[in-house]
């Protein structure tokens, strides 16, 4: 078989690694981007590239390929597990992610970190609603509780928003507010869209397949935002 089922220990290890990376990036990203603009940075498209430029790190998929080649044999091992439908889905998701990166970077340039974090947290609400509409995922007490608690957490961070509001016109602040809200909306759509794309494929969802999809999605997102830097 092209995709092997990982052992429970390996699954837990992969979940732990992904959780650490997600936690670190979510904490560091808004602070680093805001610090760039505070220190005099003004190139929004450049900060977009920094958001999406990490996709080459997924090239360790080469290691996964040789592992599958060793386990399954060279004759029955494909270079890529992605299907054409998943490739098209990664293209669409990547372009939308590029838009999200631009909206988020623009909002970070115009809003304080506290307000930006509050607006970004609304992504949880959008994700839950779009997952219900697109993926047909039902609301549960656990999902509702998670959305409410995490939104309250972001609300507490925004209590002192007026003290760190950046200098600029009210119009720029409102535009940044709207752009950040749109970033949360479209990112919620990306998550639901990716979920339904994997559900519609007939291939087993292996860790390697997910990484391939992620790499192509981030590649298209980086290509989209790179056009603005030229």
Give the model confidence (pLDDT) of 164-199 as tens digits: 555 556 788 888 889 988 998 999 999 899 999 988
Domain boundaries, the chain: 29-229
Residue scoring higher pLDDT (47 or 107):
107
- 81 contacts 2 by C-beta, under 8 angstroms: yes
The helix/strand/coil state of 111 is coil
User: CA 151, CA 123: separation in Å to the nearest integer?
Assistant: 9
Helices (H), ranges, the chain: 8-38, 44-52, 61-72, 84-110, 113-121, 123-130, 141-157, 170-200, 207-226
Q: What is the dihedral of CA 1, 3, 128, 182, to 10 degrees?
A: -120
- For residue 66, is pLDDT > 70? no
- For residue 95, is pLDDT > 90? yes
Mean pLDDT in residue range 111-129: 80
The helix/strand/coil state of 81 is coil
pTM score, whole prediction: 0.76
- Please report, rounded to a whole number, the percentage of residues in the chain having pLDDT higher than 70: 73
- For residue 97, is pLDDT > 60? yes
Torsional class of 204: left (φ above 0), alpha (ψ -120 to 50), beta (otherwise): beta
Backbone angles phi, psi at 53, to 5 degrees: -80, 0
- For residue 6, is pLDDT > 80? no
- For residue 40, is pLDDT > 70? yes
**Confidence (pLDDT) at 2:** 43
What secondary structure letter does DSSP report for 171?
Answer: H
- For residue 163, is pLDDT > 70? no
The helix/strand/coil state of 202 is coil
Tokens of 111: 């809003």
Q: Is residue 3 very low, low, confident or very high in pLDDT (cuts 50, 70, 90)?
A: very low
Q: How large is the angle between the packed helices 207-226 and 61-72, nearest 10 degrees?
A: 150
Which residues contact residue 122 at a Cβ distance below 8 angstroms, ignoring those fewer than 6 apart? 151, 181, 184, 185
Beta carbons within 10 angstroms of residue 136's beta carbon: 9
- For residue 89, is pLDDT > 90? yes
Residue scoring higher pLDDT (19 or 186):
186
- 112 contacts 54 by C-beta, under 8 angstroms: no
């Amino acid at each position: 078989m092209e995709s092997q089922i990982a052992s429970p220990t390996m699954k837990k290890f992969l979940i732990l690694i992904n959780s650490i990376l997600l936690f670190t990036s979510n904490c560091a990203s808004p602070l680093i981007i805001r610090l760039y603009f505070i220190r005099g940075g003004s190139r929004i498209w450049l900060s977009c590239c920094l958001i999406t430029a990490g996709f080459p790190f997924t090239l360790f998929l080469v290691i996964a390929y040789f592992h599958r080649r060793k386990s399954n044999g060279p004759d029955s091992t494909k270079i890529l597990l992605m299907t054409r439908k998943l490739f098209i889905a990664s293209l669409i998701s990547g372009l939308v992610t590029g838009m999200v990166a631009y909206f988020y970077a623009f909002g970070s340039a115009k809003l304080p970190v506290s307000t930006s974090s509050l607006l970004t947290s609304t992504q949880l609400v959008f994700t839950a609603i779009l997952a219900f509409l697109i993926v047909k995922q039902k609301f549960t007490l656990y999902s509702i509780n998670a959305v409410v608690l995490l939104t309250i957490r972001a609300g507490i961070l925004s209590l002192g928003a007026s003290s760190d509001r950046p200098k600029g016109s009210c119009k720029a602040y409102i535009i940044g507010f709207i752009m950040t809200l749109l970033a949360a909306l479209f990112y919620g759509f990306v998550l639901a869209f990716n979920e339904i794309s994997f559900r519609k494929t007939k291939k087993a969802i292996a860790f390697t397949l997910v990484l391939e999809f992620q790499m192509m999605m981030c590649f298209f997102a980086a290509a989209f935002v790179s056009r603005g830097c030229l």
